[in-house]
Amino acid sequence: MMRLADVFRYSLQSMLGHRGRTLLILLAMAIGVAAVVVLTALGEGARLYVLKQFTTLGSHMIIVLPGRSETSGGAPPLLGEIPRDLTIDDALALYQSHAVNNVAPVVIGSAPVSWQAREREVLVLGTTAEMEQVRQLTLARGKFISTNGPHRGAAVCVIGHTLRKELFGNQQALGQWLRIGERRFRVIGELAQQSHSLGTDIGDLVIIPVASAQALFNTESLFRILIQAKGRDSIAPAKQAVEEIIRKRHDGENDITVITQDSILATFDRIFTALTFAIAAIAAISLAVAGILIMNVMLIAISQRTAEIGLLKALGASDTEIMLLFMSEAGLLSLCGGLAGLALGVGSNLLLNQTFSDFSIIAPTWASLGGLGLALLTGILFGYIPARRAAHLKPVEALTRRR
């Protein structure tokens, strides 16, 4: 039996002896593997980007919405249920739970904001000092609205980065009096420029004390309550405690919806992981195409090399040896193509990373190894048919066929 080292040497010499053919196969294989590596890296990058966006929402956050938005079994209620409003006292009651660190009640509305002749319709967010902690807000200048009892309003406000630019331009904003609706508020702080967090532009808004917002929009109810749990482990107990406390306060009715950041995160995580796999599968098709190319080129190679195969048989090569020679050639071709593709893919990822700096594009290890493995597998799989044909050639037919 032929030595394995000699088998590989022979295959290598054959690859070098047919450069055009070899380059063609290498190119096809490389593109296939590179596609897998780059596309999965993009999918993975998108997933990580979304995860990062979620953590900028604030850590260990729980959101409480009024109204039950859950499908449950049983007959529908005869009368349309009107959910009870959430109030500031509901929010304050949540501090009873040890799992809760901070509670920020939120009232949201839209109102015209003006300074001197400039006016702008922006989002008005009524909340308490705790919001700074819960949403991890950073201030560029001044201070955040302070806690002097959530029931007491104060004529102060914190403005977003965009709003400051639009209203004040290059002028000093701190200490100026803004008109919001029919009321006047003094600017005590400016938010630092932050990235969008999931669609909410926190640059173009004004933050005022929650009681002032209730007065401004003439409402008693809260839009939602944001809660910061003590830690990652206390998210679940906090959620349970919140439901319990509100149920007690609302005459035993489950009329709120509690969303944890984790559950949203997990959903997005699942969606993006599925997406990455789908992209990888599409990329794998290009590998299969490369495999078919290998098969065709090997079949052509065999018809060009029948005389060589006949000679090898005349010199005493067994069918197994001929098979081995052609399989190893297909295997080596796909391995080299795969490695080239890996290099190409990793290179493109580095380049993409430099172009889009806040979007990290790194192929997961499973994709790189999987791409390489798949390349090898298709090469060997599609190399099998031509190799078998070569092995079963009759020596006399192979030898007497003239080129």
Partner 1 sequence: MIELTNINRNFEVGEETVHALRDINLNIDAGEYISIMGPSGSGKSTLLNILGLLDQPSSGDYRFNSQAVNQLADDEQAQVRREHIGFVFQFFHLIPRLSAIDNVALPLTLAGIVPETRNQKAKAAMQALGIADRATHRPDQLSGGQRQRVAIARAMITEPQLILADEPTGNLDRASGHEVIEALEGLNQKGITLIIVTHDPALGQRACRRLNMDDGKIVSDLNS
In the complex, the residues that contact partner 1 under the rule CB under 8 A are 1-3, 6, 10, 13-14, 16-17, 307-308, 310-321, 394-396, 399, 402
Q: How far is the CB of 327 from partner 1 (least distance, A)?
A: 16
Q: Which is nearer to partner 1, 24 or 311 (CB)?
A: 311
Three-state DSSP state, 96: helix
Q: Which is nearer to partner 1, 10 or 49 (CB)?
A: 10
Three-state DSSP state, 209: strand
Query: What is d(CA 125, CA 277) in angstroms, rounded to the nearest whole number?
Result: 40
Q: How far is the CB of 400 from partner 1 (least distance, A)?
A: 8
Q: How far is the CB of 298 from partner 1 (least distance, A)?
A: 17
Q: How far is the CB of 11 from partner 1 (least distance, A)?
A: 12
Give the relative orientation of helices 19-56 and 261-304 as an angle to the nearest 10 degrees.
Answer: 180
Beta pairing class for 118-127 and 100-115:
antiparallel
Q: Which is nearer to partner 1, 143 or 394 (CB)?
A: 394
Q: Which is nearer to partner 1, 201 or 308 (CB)?
A: 308
Q: Which is nearer to partner 1, 271 or 314 (CB)?
A: 314
Query: What is d(CA 304, CA 289) in angstroms, rounded to the nearest whole number?
Result: 23
Return the structure tokens found at 75. Answer: 């007959």
Q: Which is nearer to partner 1, 17 or 76 (CB)?
A: 17
- For residue 70, give every residue at least 6 positions away whose Cβ sits within 8 Å of its Cβ, in sequence order, or none: 257
Q: How far is the CB of 34 from partner 1 (least distance, A)?
A: 30
- For residue 237, give every residue at least 6 positions away whose Cβ sits within 8 Å of its Cβ, in sequence order, or none: 97, 99
CB burial readout 144-159, b (16+ within 10 A) else e: bbeeeebeebbebbbb
Q: How far is the CB of 284 from partner 1 (least distance, A)?
A: 34
Q: Which is nearer to partner 1, 236 or 311 (CB)?
A: 311
Q: Which is nearer to partner 1, 26 or 393 (CB)?
A: 393
Chain position carrying tokens 């009024």:
66
Q: How far is the CB of 397 from partner 1 (least distance, A)?
A: 9
Q: Which is nearer to partner 1, 284 or 312 (CB)?
A: 312
- For residue 371, give every residue at least 6 positions away whose Cβ sits within 8 Å of its Cβ, in sequence order, or none: 32, 33, 36, 37, 283, 284, 287, 338, 341, 342, 345
**Cα 145 from chain centroid (whole Å):** 34
Chain position carrying tokens 């304050």:
92
Nearest to 362 by CA among 375, 373, 372, 348: 348
CB burial readout 19-54, b (16+ within 10 A) else e: eebbeebbebbbbbbbbbbbbbbbbbbbbebeeeeb
Q: How far is the CB of 306 from partner 1 (least distance, A)?
A: 11
Q: Which is nearer to partner 1, 250 or 388 (CB)?
A: 388
- For residue 174, give every residue at least 6 positions away whose Cβ sits within 8 Å of its Cβ, in sequence order, or none: 141, 142, 187, 188, 189, 190
Q: How far is the CB of 319 from partner 1 (least distance, A)?
A: 6
Q: How far is the CB of 47 from partner 1 (least distance, A)?
A: 49
